[in-house]
A and B are shown apart, each in its own frame.
Chain A
């Protein structure tokens, strides 16, 4: 390492699926810009490095860390705190780190039930009912596995976060744009946005990017997308398809909606939305065409899982953060 070594870059995955890493690689030749401008010091999915290597680094010595995944166990939390200390810029990268995403849906159940489901249900081949032990003695000493927390938390519920980059996963063109910006900043050609900003996304809603035709909505029944023939030009919500576009942040170019599938909300709450699900409840309830309680109930039967529909990506980041069973037993 010379004195004028390149700035250091790290990427980590906590409770996540690995899709964010793939999205980063999906920026194609732009990944060479990352390599040209950064020294990658820690990226478990792409290179070999040990936690103790990171622990040995000076505080603040990593310029940019992209952190994806929620905080589900004490290993996640340890690395989140470690990388916070070592990084100048910590980015909550992807929906899991920003708002909990799919792993956050587990917050509807107590942690014990999740473990039980994973190791002892009909779909699991575990005839002897073997469960993992937190610690185990071997001749070389005691080995341990991470301890699971009662609920999953978002990154900013654990450590201070500089920027948020939403998406499940973030779109490659958005990652590319952010990398372009960071490289420009490094060369003194641009300035960083204010701390706490959402980067790599728009400031409006998916509806704003959607090219489908919109009229006055009045919904008499909610339908599943496979139950009906979709009009390719007309707003999906208008056709009774529960589309989460009205509350979801823009930035994806309305990709799903253009392909004929409803928005499921992976870009998280739009600018100014406090509680994503609440915004959707307000939106959906406003366009139901009925004033009769019984009829309203019948229409709402068309949304069989409202908590999942409205909080698919946002449960851990919502106002309630978890279901009652999880917080009571937690």
Chain B
């Protein structure tokens, strides 16, 4: 699926106190990274409801980057640990859905780490580029027929046959 023309869409969640400022610093320092990431600022990575991740992926994102303050440095004491545990569980759940867990990444970045933010973002975009598009939105995952009721499959066949089973 990987082509030179595939430009991944990444949704990035940043926390108000560290990683958003890191992104800001990357900007003021004129650091360059690819424009594939759309950042959404939360007050804290602990605010990251896993719903946001599934919503992003089901709305056409190819990957999601969760960022927050380093462990021990959370503005709200320990909410970034909550984000850490949710991240692990989200990844495992995605695996159960047959979605590559690598499509979700967690990065800790302090307000001083603009360079780290830029390089982590760039490397994640490349990782997603090599994974290829998720294609959920384009194929309309879970929505097999068009509204006018196009017939989705012609025949029940065993999987071993070469023809596509559900068209």
Q: A residues near B, CB below 8 A?
A: 74, 77, 81, 107-108, 110-113, 115-116, 119-120, 129, 131-135, 145, 147-151, 153, 157, 274-275, 277-279, 281-282, 284-286, 288, 290-291, 293, 296-297, 300, 303, 305-308, 310, 316, 318-330
Contact = CB atoms under 8 A, between A and B. Distances in A.
B92 A306 contact: yes
Interface stretch (B16-24, B31-39, B144-152): B144-152
Contacts of B86: 281-282, 285-286
Contact of A116 (B58, B90, B140, B159): B159
Contact of A291 (B71, B142, B156): B71
Given A150-B152, A153-B142, A153-B144, A291 B54 contact: no
B84 A296 contact: yes
B85 interface: yes
A100 to B, nearest CB: 9
B98 A306 contact: no
B54 A112 contact: no
Contact of A307 (B85, B93, B165): B93
A285 B166 contact: no
A115 B134 CA distance: 25
A153, A275, A310 — which one has the most chain B CB atoms within 10 A of its CB?
A275
Given A119-B158, A284-B89, A306-B89, A327 B55 contact: no
Contacts of A285: 50, 82, 85-86, 88-89
8 contacts: A133-B156, A147-B153, A147-B154, A147-B156, A149-B153, A275-B54, A285-B86, A327-B141
Nearest to B145: A149
Given A153-B144, A330-B139, A319 B54 contact: yes
Contact of B165 (A112, A129, A281): A112
A327 B84 CA distance: 29
A133 B161 CA distance: 13
Given A108-B96, A150-B153, A281-B90, A327 B136 contact: yes
Contact of B54 (A132, A278, A297, A303): A278
Nearest to B71: A291
A112 B142 contact: no
B62 to A, nearest CB: 12
A107 B136 CA distance: 14
B92 A149 contact: no
B51, B53, B57, B142 — which one has the most chain A CB atoms within 10 A of its CB?
B142
A70 B40 CA distance: 36
Given A296-B88, A329-B165, A133 B54 contact: no
B165 A321 contact: no
Contacts of B57: 319-320
Contact of B166 (A150, A290, A321, A324): A150
Contacts of B85: 285-286, 288, 290, 296
Given A116-B159, A296-B85, 20 more contacts: A110-B166, A111-B153, A115-B156, A131-B157, A134-B155, A134-B156, A151-B144, A157-B142, A279-B51, A281-B86, A282-B50, A285-B88, A290-B85, A303-B89, A307-B95, A319-B51, A319-B55, A320-B99, A323-B99, A327-B141
Nearest to A116: B159
A329 B159 CA distance: 11
Nearest to A81: B149
Contacts of A281: 50, 86, 89-90, 93
A147 B84 CA distance: 44
Contacts of A149: 144-145, 152-153, 166
Interface in B15-71: 49-51, 53-55, 57-58, 71
Contact of B141 (A74, A284, A291, A322): A322
Given A297-B88, A327-B136, A116 B158 contact: yes
A297 B101 CA distance: 14
B160 interface: yes
B97 A108 contact: yes
Contacts of B136: 320, 324, 327
Given A116-B158, A147-B154, A329-B165, A318 B88 contact: no
